[in-house]
Structure formats: C-alpha cells, structure tokens
Amino acid sequence: MTTTTRPSGDTPEQMSSRLRSFLLRQEVILLIISLLAVMFLAFGSDRFLTANNLLNQGRLLTEIGLVALSMTFIIITGGIDLSVGSILGLCAIVLGVMWDPKGAFAFPLEVAVLICLLVGIVAGFVNGLIIVRLGVPPLITTLATLALYRGLAEGISQARSVRGYPEEFYVLGQGEFLGVPTQLWVLLIFCIITAVVLSRTVFGRATYAIGNNELGARFSGLPVGRYKILIYTFSGFMAALAAWIFVSRVSTTRSDMGSGLELDAIAAVVLGGTSIFGGSGSIIGTIIGFILIQLLKNGLALSGVTTDGTIVVIGTVLILAILVNNFIQRRSGNG
C-alpha cells in the first residue's frame, strides 16, 4: 500500500488511502493492547489460555458480537442505536409466545423463528423510518423505541416465561459444529460478510461518506435515506438473530432479556476505534473490541477478581484506550 503523507489538497483516492492506512494503525494499537492484556491475564491463571475456555467464551460473546457488527455501521454513519437490547427482548418474547404449545398461537418452531426475525426487521425498519423520513435524531428515536419495544415485550409476555423447547432447538445455542460452538460459526460468517461489505463495496464507501459529510453525500447523488433505513433495519435483524441464539443458549424466554446490551455493544465498537462522531471505523476494530472485553471479563475472573472489580477495569480500559488512540492520532496528525 502506498502511503502518501502530503498535506491537504489530496485527491479523494489519496485521502481515502491515507485514511485507511491510518485506521490500520488504530487497529494495530488496539491489537497490541489486546495481546498485552492476554499475556498479562495468562499469568493470572493457567486455565485462561486453553482452547476449551476460549471456545466457551465465544459462546458468551456471540450476541454482543452480532449486535456490535451492525452497530459499527450505524456509528460510522454518525448515528446510534440504543434500542438493540430491547429489540432482542421483544424478539425473544415473540419467539416464545408464537411457539408456546399452550399459548394462543402454537406455531411450529420454524415459523416462530421466522416471525421472530421478521419482528426484528420491522423494529429496525421503524427506527430507520422515524430517523430518515421524520428527521428525528437517532439518539432520541432509539431512546423512545428502547422504552417502547421493552414495554411491548413486557406487555406481550405478561411476565410469563416460555420454556421447554424441543432438544434440536438447543443446537444453535448449546451445541457444537466441528468442535466449535455452533453460534460462533454464525458470528464468524457475519463478521466476514460485514467486513467485506464495509471495506469492499459501494455500500460500504457510502456508509463512510454519510458519516463524514451527510449533506455532501446527498449532493453527490447517494441514496442516503435509503441506505440509512437499510442499516437500521439490518441492526434490527441482527438483534433478532441474537435473540434466537440467546433463547437457544439459555433455554427460556423472559421479557428482561438483553437489557443493557446496547451499552456493551457500543463500548465494543468505540473501543474498536470507531469514532462516535461517525466517518471512521472498521469491522476488524469492532471484532477486536468485543473479543478484548470478553477476554478481560473472563481473564480477570479467572485471576480471582470479582465481577464488580472487573466492571471497574473495563471502564478504565475503555477510557484509556480512546485516550491513547487520541494521543497517537494527534501526534501523527501534527507530524
């Protein structure tokens, strides 16, 4: 890759190549931090760096990972989606209520899962519609739907949890495929798809363009509105997918599922070097972000740190990582 460090006045291609090499650097920094953390944690417990433990951690991070992938797109456009946790709860409840053999619907499981995914898509689509067509800022829109969707989940479930799914339903959340937890394959596939879409397609470039300068993107003929609706719809779909995996993993549905998930996902994305103001970021960064958070949680626990102590460390790492990034960013910007 040819990196030109000429000051302003570059052609768009040069700008974007500079940007890309720059992003690469941010991820490299994060990767170094992660490796240091892993080494440090491995000293704390000899059970940390084992295939068994790491694969098991993969099971636990899948839901956050899936949601963080779509959140990356949203944050790159300069938006945010606080409603993902509630969409997860709503979809989980819908899945349970639609399937529940004693309930009013008693659909076959496949149909229930389909409806669950559909509800997620609609929920995300509604978010997008309000944001794009009515011009309500994403933070407010999703703050409102955070309450609305969770409320619907509670209302629909009437506080009843649905249990007792057939054995084959648990394959996704508790089973294995080729020795690796099933849901990790799903996560892996979506990691690849989103990474390719964001870095190699017109759509991906448009996502950055919207985040950098929405008005400019509009004037250059990009269907900004349609792209944004698509991205929020995708976010709803990912939350629904996460709901499906979550229900299969814990074998029950409750209306409080996924509460607080949005902050975990945002933390992973931001830790991964995506700017909260939009315009820059990458899927690789997000992947490193959510893996680092999960490894910290796990490794610290194995070294004997309690849950509350772990929360403190993660908060500190989040601030420090961004601080270090900013520092290096500014130095390289000056130099």
316 binds other proteins (CB under 8 A): yes
Q: Which of 28, 39, 140, 189 binds other proteins (CB under 8 A)?
A: 140
Q: Shortest approach of other proteins to residue 14 CB, angstroms?
A: 25
Asked if 40 is part of the footprint of other proteins (rule: CB under 8 A), the reply reads no
Q: Residues 3, 28, 43, 155: which binds other proteins (CB under 8 A)?
A: 155
CB burial class (10 A; 0-12, 13-18, 19+) of residue 29?
middle
255 binds other proteins (CB under 8 A): yes
Contacts of residue 164, Cβ cutoff 8 Å, sequence gap at least 6: none
Task: Check binding of 160 to other proteins (CB under 8 A).
Answer: yes
Nearer to other proteins, 145 or 194 (CB): 145
277, 78 in Cβ contact below 8 A?
A: yes
326 binds other proteins (CB under 8 A): yes
User: What part of residues 62-101 is at the interface with other proteins (CB under 8 A)?
Assistant: none
The answer to whether 152 contacts other proteins (rule: CB under 8 A) is yes
Figure out which of the listed residues 74, 238, 241, 270 binds other proteins, where binding follows CB under 8 A: 270
Measured from the Cβ of residue 78, the count of other Cβ atoms closer than 10 Å reads 18
> Is position 256 an interface residue for other proteins (rule: CB under 8 A)?
yes
Q: Of 18 and 160, which has the nearer Cβ to other proteins?
A: 160
Binding other proteins by CB under 8 A: which of 161, 180, 197, 205?
A: 161
**Smallest distance from other proteins to CB 307, Å:** 6
Report in angstroms how near the CB of residue 149 gets to other proteins at its nearest.
Answer: 7
Smallest gap from residue 299 Cβ to other proteins (A): 9
Our finding on whether 137 is near other proteins (CB under 8 A) is yes
Restricting to residues 274-313, name those near other proteins by CB under 8 A: 275-277, 297-298, 301-302, 306-312
How far apart are CB 248 and other proteins at their closest, in Å?
Answer: 10
Question: 104 vs 215, which CB is nearer to other proteins?
Answer: 215
Instruction: Choose between 26 and 298: whose C-beta lies nearer to other proteins.
Output: 298
How far apart CA 280 and CA 15 sit, in angstroms, is 13
By CB atoms closer than 10 A (0-12, 13-18, 19+), residue 327 is exposed
Smallest separation (angstroms) from other proteins to the CB of 61: 10
Q: Which of 56, 201, 220, 332 binds other proteins (CB under 8 A)?
A: 56
Distant-in-sequence, close-in-space partners of 221: CB < 8 Å, separation ≥ 6? none
Q: Of 145, 212, 233, 286, which one interacts with other proteins (CB under 8 A)?
A: 145
The answer to whether 315 contacts other proteins (rule: CB under 8 A) is yes
213 near other proteins, rule: CB under 8 A: no
Q: Give the residue among 68, 301, 59, 3 at the shortest CA–CA distance from 185.
A: 59
What tokens does 12 get? 């768009």
Query: Shortest CA distance to 324 belongs to which of 33, 120, 10?
Result: 33
**Four-residue CA torsion sign, 113, 116, 121, 124:** negative
Strands 252-253 and 180-181: unpaired
Provide DSSP, 50-89: -HHHHHHHHHHHHHHHHHHHHHHHHHHTT---TTHHHHHH
Angle at which helix 261-271 crosses helix 307-334, to 10 degrees, equals 30
